[in-house]
Structure formats: C-alpha cells, structure tokens
Amino acid sequence: VPFRNEDDLVRWLQRRWPDRATNVRLGIGDDAAIVSVTRGSEFALTTDLSIEGVHFRRDLHPPRAVGHRALARALSDLAAVGARPRFALVSLAFPPATRRSWVSGFYDGAGVLARRHGVALIGGDTAVAEGGGIVVDVVAAGEVKRGLALRRDGARPGDLLYVTGRLGMAALGLEMLKSNARRASTTNRRAEGGGIVRQALGAHLYPEPRLGTGRYLAAHRLASAAIDVSDGFARDLGRLCAASACAAIVREESLPLPRSGTLLTSSTGRPRQQTVREARLDPLELALRGGEDYELIFTVPRPRAGRLPRSIKGVALHQIGEIRRGRGLRLLLRSGSEVRLAPRGYDHFRRAR
Ligand SMILES: [Mg+2]
C-alpha cells in the first residue's frame, strides 16, 4: 500500500490540490466539498467507492443491499454537512460473468433509497471489468443554505458531544452475516420476524443516512461540528477532534451500545440462538470500532444545548461526552477510571497491509 493510511493520502492530496477557486467554500478533507453556485445556497459534493471484497461480498450482500449501501454512503456524507440531497450519479463496473439480475437488483436498491430521499439519479458510467470484481462509485450533490453547512473543524473545548441512533448495530449485523456465510439467504429470511436479528441485519444491509437530523442541526445552527460514522465511532471522532484541534472525553455509560439479546450464529454450521456475549462479541468494542453505522457525531456549544430536542424525526440524540482542550480521545469507564481511547477503527489501508 503506497500510503500509511487513508488520512495520510487525504493530507497529501490537500497539498497537491489546494482550493484556489473562489467558489470552493470547503475543499478536500471533510465529508463533502462545498461549492457556491447560486446566491443564497451552496452545493455539497461527495463521491464514494464501494468495492467488492472490501466494502461488500457477493456471497453475503444481496445486490439490492449493495446498491442501497453504495448510495447510503454518499448520502450519509451529505447528512454530515447538513445538506439536502438533490442529485446522484451512479457508476458501476462488473465482470463479464455478472448476471443481469444482479445488475438490476443493484440499481433497484439504489433507486428505492434515492426516491425515498428525493434524490434524482441523473447518470453515471458503466464498464465491464475484465478480470476484476465489481466496483461502484457514487457521486452525490446536495444543497445547503449559504454559511450553514456543518463541518468537522468547528468543535471547541467545553462543547457537548452527541451521537445519533445506536452504535455497533451494523458491525453486529456483519458478524451475523459472516457467521452464516453459507446460509446468508436463510438468515435473511429468518430475520424477518426476530427483533435484534432483523435490526442488526437491517442496520448493516440497509442503513438509513441521518439526513433529517443533519439538516435540522444545520438549519437551526445547533452544531459546531459534525461527521458521519463510516469507519467506526472512535476513528471518526478522532478525525473530528483532529480537524478541530481539540480532545474529547466519552462516557461509556452514555454510549448507545448495540442492544443485547439473542442473535443467530452458526459457527458450527447450524444456526442457533446466542446472546451477543455468548457469541464473544463485545458490545462496547462493536460500538467503538465497528464501522458503517452511518450515525452522526456532532458537537453543540453549551449555551445552545437547551434548544436541542431529545430526538429529531424519530432519531434519538445521545449526549455522550464533551470536547476538551488538548489532543486525543479519553474513555470514562463505568468503573470510574479514565483510559485512552485509540482513534482506531476500520481502515482499508491497514487491512490491506
Ligand atoms: Mg464521511
């Protein structure tokens, strides 16, 4: 791998492509770029790759889920800057042996999510990847009122730290899919009825980008900074803190951990009911490091915290800690002791090494 990690590559690109054009309000390095095109509003632009074997596996992820997740990744970046999604371009490369039903399922998955959020799918590119796997790229554009876009670099010491929804559910869903690799379709069917199984698989296969929450926070000028959780809570919080040049403390007792309860595993080849702990999955670890939650992490200056509702459009907001002076992340355990929280999560570059 030619770079130490993804953040390294982004910093290198920032130096090579500094923002010179006057209508670029925010360039490389945030969740989306912000450009101003009309008086009064700005456009947020983002692009996201989804690669077979890295972001999805054909034996685990149905084509509809691949299409949904590819678009959801991009829409989540727009949610993180508080933009209303307007347009998307979906590009797809697939090997010659790909079934037509796969391709049509893929576009269906993206299409349903796009319609639900009023996103016009306005184009894209396709190619046959001779000798390669499936590669998806989604470019999405969203609109935000001038000056209201949320960004990563606005957090200040004393700001309260929040996260939406529930952490670790997508990672739990992925663990369930992996332990049922040969029975993915069975699991999906069984999942229809069961609480935590259905929720975890849903969170992983069909994540809901927090667009309404992001827009509300931006429109009411409530958040000083925001980022979406794509590569894991600790890693993305670390990015927000690095961009804002500050530290953060997180309280374990306040984190919305994945629900405990029974789930379906089949390490033995036979599906059986297990609790999260019996499956040797640590709910705290899933919440801190598991990726692809597509929740929002955001900070609110104390004087504005009173105006923050408990939930926005049905999505709960959890106050989980605060921003501090300095560098790095700390975790206040239930036991009362405070430990360093490594800003680590899922890193494609690390995994490839
Ligand atoms: Mg992001």
Confidence (pLDDT) at 10 = 84
| Cα 93 to averaged position of ligand 1 atoms, centre (Å) | 23
CB 251 within 8 A of CB 320: yes
| Cα 94 to averaged position of ligand 1 atoms, centre (Å) | 25
CB 257 within 8 A of CB 282: no
| Cα 191 to averaged position of ligand 1 atoms, centre (Å) | 29
Strands 120-123 and 84-94: parallel
Mean pLDDT taken over the chain: 87
| Cα 15 to averaged position of ligand 1 atoms, centre (Å) | 20
CB atoms within 10 A of CB 122: 12
Examine the pLDDT at 279 and tell me if it is beyond 50: yes
Q: Could you give the angle at which helices 195-205 and 184-191 cross, rounded to 10 degrees? A: 120
| Cα 50 to averaged position of ligand 1 atoms, centre (Å) | 14
Per-residue pLDDT tens for 1-30? 667 887 887 888 788 777 666 777 888 788
Record the pTM: 0.87
| Cα 180 to averaged position of ligand 1 atoms, centre (Å) | 29
Per DSSP, the residues of 253-267 read GGS-PPPPSEEEE-T
Segment of 20-24, 73-77, 197-201, 279-283 carrying the highest mean pLDDT: 73-77
pLDDT band (50, 70, 90) for residue 193: very low
Examine the pLDDT at 38 and tell me if it is beyond 90: no
pLDDT band (50, 70, 90) for residue 36: confident
| Cα 239 to averaged position of ligand 1 atoms, centre (Å) | 10
CB 176 within 8 A of CB 261: no
Confidence (pLDDT) at 277 = 57
| Cα 76 to averaged position of ligand 1 atoms, centre (Å) | 7
Per DSSP, the residues of 270-333 read S-EEEETTTTT--HHHHHHH------EEEEE-HHHHTT--SEETTEEEEEEEEEESSSSEEEE-
| Cα 141 to averaged position of ligand 1 atoms, centre (Å) | 14
Examine the pLDDT at 275 and tell me if it is beyond 80: no
| Cα 237 to averaged position of ligand 1 atoms, centre (Å) | 11
Between 124 and 51, name the one with better pLDDT. 51
| Cα 123 to averaged position of ligand 1 atoms, centre (Å) | 22
Q: Could you tell me which of 163, 110, 105 has the C-alpha nearest to residue 140?
A: 110
Query: Within a 13 Å sphere around the CA of 55, how many CA atoms are in the beta-carbon half?
Result: 23
| Cα 73 to averaged position of ligand 1 atoms, centre (Å) | 8
Per-residue pLDDT tens for 151-178? 999 999 999 999 999 999 999 888 888 8
Q: Which residues contact 181 (CB under 8 A, 6 or more apart)?
A: 59, 60
pLDDT band (50, 70, 90) for residue 283: confident
Q: Using CA atoms, how far apart are residues 239 and 234, in angstroms rounded to an integer?
A: 9
Sign of the four-CA dihedral 144, 147, 150, 152: positive
CB atoms within 10 A of CB 247: 17
Query: Within a 13 Å sphere around the CA of 324, how many CA atoms are in the beta-carbon half?
Result: 12
Q: Taking ligand 1, which is a single-atom ion, which protein residues have CB atoms under 5 Å away?
A: 31, 77, 228, 230
| Cα 337 to averaged position of ligand 1 atoms, centre (Å) | 31
| Cα 340 to averaged position of ligand 1 atoms, centre (Å) | 24
Examine the pLDDT at 183 and tell me if it is beyond 90: no
| Cα 78 to averaged position of ligand 1 atoms, centre (Å) | 8
Between 314 and 16, name the one with better pLDDT. 314
| Cα 157 to averaged position of ligand 1 atoms, centre (Å) | 22
Provide Rg for the chain, Cα atoms: 20
Confidence (pLDDT) at 232 = 95
User: What is the percent of the chain where pLDDT is above 70?
Assistant: 86
Per-residue pLDDT tens for 297-312? 999 999 999 999 999 9
Q: E strand or H helix at 87, and its extent?
A: strand 84-94
Confidence (pLDDT) at 182 = 43
| Cα 19 to averaged position of ligand 1 atoms, centre (Å) | 19
